[in-house]
Structures are given as structure tokens and as C-alpha cells.
Amino acid sequence: MKYLDIESFRKLNTHLSFPTTSGNRHVLGRIEAYSCKAAGNDKKLYRYLENKFQADLEEAKGLSPEYNSLTNTVSPFGPLTKPASRKMLFYLIATLNASFPDYDFSSLNADQFIKEPSSDNCIKSICSTLLNVGCPSALKTSRMWDCIDDVINLDECDVYSYTPDDDSDPYGEEGPVWSFNYFFFNRNLKRIVFFTCRCISNLDEVDSTSDQELVFGDLMDEPVKTELFPTSKYALKEMSIGGGLRL
């Protein structure tokens, strides 16, 4: 995957690091764009994943009915017997490898990803999360989703999320309170926008904070204002946290 240096994303990322409303935690996020053009070790990774699938397929042939189970399994990308489905898995793993160069995600399986119902759902979820923890006014007025839309065309995207287990979490050592990882994939552009974010505790305050406060503290600090990136066309997806989401 080839990293794309997007100036608007660099500016957005400066606003995606901020203390939460309570002051006990810190949010760290970033948005990155990648071309699906092979780069670096991508070809080696693709061959590895293809060989792994074929080896699993051969092994399953002697284990009926497991063979039928493997060949008929529908992943978030479609049946893995189809090359296009396996290529999508490769794209997401390659994106993670590029975004976290100190980690190797080649052992991930398709069932560790989820295909989201729509980009609108993801926008609501991300904005709700950021607003609840007190995102700065600079981020609210940054036209974040317009900037992302300019790069990826959100209406044409398939969206996938990745929730790592303990062994495959690049943020595991930080012990995040929460994290999210979303991939916005535009097949026509052959491009992915990766939006990753986590919330970590301030180390000097962890000992005096209960587990319940650690998880829910920011949600109870103060009411969340309803304005959401008001200069953006995505301001139509305005939120009312107390009364739920509305379009």
C-alpha cells in the first residue's frame, strides 16, 4: 500500500490529539490515506496469504465436512473462494502493516473484520464518540468529513472495522480505555482511508480512578453540545446525544 500525503489530513491529525473533558484521559487519533498500489513488501504479503489459504484448503479436503464449511464460509468480503474477497482481506492487512510498521498483521483472519452497514453509520459512531469525550472546537469546525469525502468519496465506499484481540492489538501496551479502527474503501479509486483512534488514561491518575469511572467518566462530565462540524455538508448528520442520533 502506498501512503498518500494529504495536506488536509495532516491538519486534521493535529486536532485529533486532545485531553478529554474530565482531564483524566487523552484521545489520540489519526486519519491516513493509502493507494492500493503494491509497495514495499506487499507482493510478498499477498503471496503469503494466498499460499496460506490454499494450504488450509488442501488440509480441509481430507476433513469432510470441514471442507464444505471452509469453501462455503462467507467472510465480510464475500466467499473466500473468490479471489476478489481474498484481495480485500489483503488490502486491509496491508493497510494495517503500513500504518503500524512495528507490527505484523499477516496472521489475521477474515472474521476479525466487520463490514459496516454504511458510511453514515460510521460517521455517526465516530462523531458521537469524539463529541462525548470533549473534542476541541477546532476539530468541530475543521470540515473533517468534507476533507475525508474529498479524498475518498464516502458515498461510494465500503466500510470495514477491525476490533483486535489481545494478541493483535497495536495499542495493547497502552491499555486503551477504548479504540476504533475504520477502513473506508473506494473500489473505483483503489484507495483506502484509515481512521484509527484510542483513548488512554493519564498514568499519574490511573491509580485513583475506579474502573467504572475509567470507562464512563467522560460521558458524565458535562452535556455534549449538538453542533457538529457546522461548515460541512455533513453537518446535516447533526447529533442530539441525549435524544439519540438524527439525520
pLDDT along the chain (247 residues), means of 10: 95 93 90 91 90 80 58 79 92 96 92 94 92 86 93 96 86 87 97 96 51 41 41 44 29
Choose among 135, 136, 113, 114: nearest CA to 126: 135
Q: What is the pTM of this model?
A: 0.80
pLDDT at 168: 82
pLDDT at 150: 96
pLDDT at 62: 65
pLDDT at 174: 80
pLDDT at 210: 40
Beta pairing partners, 29? 197
Beta pairing partners, 19? 26
pLDDT at 245: 28
